[in-house]
C-alpha cells in the first residue's frame, strides 16, 4: 500500500530560519526555547532550590537546638547524679549520728551513775575516817590514863604497852592516807562531772549531735509520702520575703529551675527538696526533647537529601537541553 502514495522529501533548510528565529527571541540569560520541558524544569528548579534552602536552614536550626538541649541534658544528668550522691552521703551521716548519739547516751548514763557511786563511796570513806578519828581519840585518852597511873607494869615497849604502841602507829598510818585518798576522790568526781556535763542530753556533745540530726532531717525518709517536701528557703520561693522583689535575671519559662539554677539552697533531706525533683523533671524533659529533635532532624535531613538529589537531577537535565548550547 505504501507504493500507492508519492512522498515528497522536505528540504530541511525550510525549517532552519524558523528554528533560528525561535532561538533568537529568547533571553540569553534565561533561554526558554521551544522545548516546554525545559521551561517547566526551570520553574521546578527554582521551587526546589527554595525548598532546599528552607530545609537546609531548618536542619541547621534543629541541629543547633539539639546541641544546646543535649548539652543541658548531660549537665543536668551529672548534676542530678551529684545531688543523689550528696543525699546518700547525708543519709550515711545520719546513720553515724545515730550511732554517736547512742554511744553518748550510754556514756552520759554511765558517768551519771559513776558520779552517784563515787559520791556514795566518798560518804563511806568519810564515815570510815570519822570512825578512825574517834578510835584515835579514844586511844589518846587510854594512853594518857596509863601515863597518869605511872605504873611500872606499863613500861614503854613492854607487854601490853608494846601492842598499844604498835596499834597507835598503825592508826596514824591509816589517818595519814586520808588526805591523799580524799584528794583523789575529789579529782575523780570532778572528771566524771566534766564528762557528764559535756555529753549529757540536756547540753554538751549530745545537744550538738542532736542539732546536726535535726539540721539533716534524719527522721524524714525519702520514701515517706506522708511527710511534706521541704519548704523553699526565704528569697527562693513564692512565699519568701525576697520573692516579691523583681530579679534582674530572667527566668526560663519552660524550666522549673528558674533564676536560681546556678545557686540553689538545698534543704535536707535532699531527696525531699523540690529542687532535687525539679532537676530530675527537667532532665527527663530535655531527654525527651532531645529524642524528639533527633527524630525531627533525621526526618529533615532525609527531606533535604531528597531535595538535593532532585535539584542535582534538574540541573543535569537542564544542562543537557539548554538552548544556548543546543541552538548554536
> pLDDT digit string (tens) for 5-39?
454 555 555 545 544 554 445 555 555 555 567 67
Q: Quote the pLDDT of residue 130.
A: 93
Q: Quote the pLDDT of residue 245.
A: 41
Q: Report residue 246 as a C-alpha cell.
A: 523583681
Q: Quote the pLDDT of residue 28.
A: 55
- Main-chain dihedrals φ then ψ at residue 221, nearest 5 degrees: -90, 150
Query: Is 21 a domain residue?
Result: no
Which domain CATH number covers 104?
Answer: 1.10.287.950
Overall domain count for the chain:
1
Query: Is 268 a domain residue?
Result: yes
Give yes or no for residue 114 having a pLDDT over 60: yes
Contact status, residue 140 vs residue 189, Cβ threshold 8 Å: no
Query: Is 15 a domain residue?
Result: no
- The distance from CA 34 to its chain's CA centroid, rounded to whole angstroms, is 75
Query: Is 150 a domain residue?
Result: yes
The mean pLDDT of 202-218, rounded to a whole number, is 86
> pLDDT digit string (tens) for 268-277?
899 988 888 8
Contact status, residue 279 vs residue 83, Cβ threshold 8 Å: yes
More confident residue, 247 or 320: 320
The mean pLDDT of 68-81, rounded to a whole number, is 94
Query: Is 111 a domain residue?
Result: yes
Query: Is 112 a domain residue?
Result: yes
Query: Is 222 a domain residue?
Result: no
Domain that holds residue 104: 36-216+264-323
More confident residue, 177 or 14: 177
| Range with top average pLDDT, 41-50, 69-78, 159-168, 223-232 | 69-78
Q: Report residue 124 as a C-alpha cell.
A: 563511806
> pLDDT digit string (tens) for 98-112?
999 999 888 888 888
Query: Is 74 a domain residue?
Result: yes
Q: How many CB atoms lie within 10 A of CB 268?
A: 20
Contact status, residue 59 vs residue 301, Cβ threshold 8 Å: yes
Q: Quote the pLDDT of residue 238.
A: 39
Angle between helices 205-215 and 36-149 (to 10 degrees): 160
Amino acid at each position: 500500500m505504501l507504493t500507492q502514495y508519492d512522498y515528497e522529501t522536505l528540504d530541511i533548510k525550510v525549517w532552519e530560519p524558523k528554528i533560528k528565529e525561535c532561538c533568537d527571541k529568547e533571553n540569553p540569560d534565561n533561554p526558554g526555547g521551544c522545548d516546554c520541558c525545559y521551561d517547566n524544569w526551570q520553574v521546578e528548579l527554582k521551587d526546589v532550590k527554595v525548598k532546599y534552602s528552607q530545609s537546609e536552614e531548618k536542619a541547621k536550626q534543629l541541629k543547633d537546638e539539639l546541641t544546646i538541649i543535649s548539652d543541658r541534658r548531660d549537665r543536668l544528668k551529672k548534676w542530678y547524679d551529684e545531688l543523689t550522691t550528696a543525699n546518700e552521703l547525708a543519709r550515711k551521716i545520719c546513720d553515724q549520728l545515730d550511732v554517736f548519739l547512742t554511744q553518748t547516751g550510754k556514756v552520759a548514763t554511765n558517768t551519771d551513775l559513776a558520779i552517784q557511786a563515787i559520791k556514795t563511796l566518798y560518804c563511806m570513806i568519810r564515815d570510815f575516817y570519822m570512825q578512825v578519828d574517834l578510835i584515835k581519840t579514844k586511844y589518846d585518852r587510854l594512853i594518857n590514863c596509863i601515863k597518869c597511873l605511872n605504873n611500872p607494869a606499863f613500861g614503854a615497849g613492854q607487854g601490853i604497852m608494846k601492842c598499844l604502841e604498835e596499834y597507835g602507829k598503825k592508826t596514824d598510818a591509816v589517818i595519814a592516807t586520808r588526805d591523799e585518798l580524799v584528794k583523789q576522790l575529789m579529782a575523780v568526781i570532778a572528771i566524771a562531772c566534766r564528762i557528764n556535763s559535756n555529753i549529757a542530753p540536756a547540753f554538751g556533745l549530745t545537744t550538738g549531735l542532736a542539732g546536726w540530726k535535726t539540721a539533716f532531717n534524719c527522721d524524714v525518709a525519702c520514701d515517706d509520702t506522708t511527710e511534706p517536701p521541704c519548704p523553699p528557703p526565704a528569697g527562693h520561693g513564692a512565699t519568701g520575703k525576697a520573692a516579691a522583689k523583681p530579679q534582674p535575671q530572667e527566668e526560663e519559662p519552660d524550666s522549673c529551675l528558674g533564676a536560681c539554677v546556678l545557686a540553689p539552697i538545698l534543704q535536707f533531706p535532699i531527696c525531699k527538696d523540690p529542687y532535687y525533683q525539679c532537676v530530675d523533671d527537667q532532665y527527663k524533659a530535655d531527654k525527651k526533647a532531645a529524642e524528639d529533635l533527633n527524630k525531627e532532624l533525621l526526618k529533615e535531613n532525609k527531606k533535604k537529601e531528597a531535595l538535593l538529589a532532585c535539584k542535582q537531577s534538574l540541573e543535569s537535565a537542564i544542562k543537557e537541553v539548554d538552548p544556548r548550547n543546543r541552538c548554536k
